[in-house]
Chains A and B, each alone.
Chain A
Amino acid sequence: MAITVIVLVRSRNLFSVVVMGGIYSFLMATVLVALDAPDVAMTEASVGAGMSTVLLLSALYLCRSEEAKSLRGLWLPLAVAVTTGGMLVFGTLDLPAFSDPAAPIHTHVAPRYLNDALRETGVPNVVTDVLASYRGFDTLGEVTVVFTAGAGVIALLRRRRNRKQAGPQ
Chain B
Amino acid sequence: MNFGSHFSYAMTVFLMMAGLFVVIARGNLIKQLVGLGILQTSVYLLYIAPGKLIGGTAPIISAQFQIYSNPLPHVLILTAIVVGVATLALGLALVVRIRETYDTIEEDEILARDHGEPAHDGA
| Given the contacts A24-B38, A43-B78, A31 and B45 also touching, CB distance less than 8 Å | yes
The size of the chain A interface, using a CB distance under 8 A, is: 91
Q: Is B113 an interface residue (CB 8 A)?
A: no
Q: CB-CB < 8 A to B68: which residues of A?
A: 36, 114, 126
Closest Cβ of chain A: how far from B84's Cβ, in Å? 8
Closest Cβ of chain B: how far from A24's Cβ, in Å? 7
Closest Cβ of chain B: how far from A51's Cβ, in Å? 6
A85 touches B16 (CB 8 A): yes
Q: Number of residue pairs across A and B with beta carbons under 8 Å?
A: 265
B58 touches A150 (CB 8 A): no
Q: CB-CB < 8 A to A138: which residues of B?
A: 79
Closest Cβ of chain A: how far from B88's Cβ, in Å? 6
| Interface SS, A side | helix
Per the 8 Å Cβ criterion, residues 26-72 of B in contact with A are: 26-28, 30-31, 33-35, 37-38, 41, 44-45, 48-54, 56-62, 68-72
Closest Cβ of chain B: how far from A31's Cβ, in Å? 7
B44 touches A40 (CB 8 A): yes
B75 touches A130 (CB 8 A): yes
Q: Is B114 an interface residue (CB 8 A)?
A: no
Partner of B21, one of A9, A36, A47, A67: A9
Q: Is B115 an interface residue (CB 8 A)?
A: no
Partner of B22, one of A9, A32, A89, A101: A9
Q: CB-CB < 8 A to A81: which residues of B?
A: 17-18, 20-21, 24
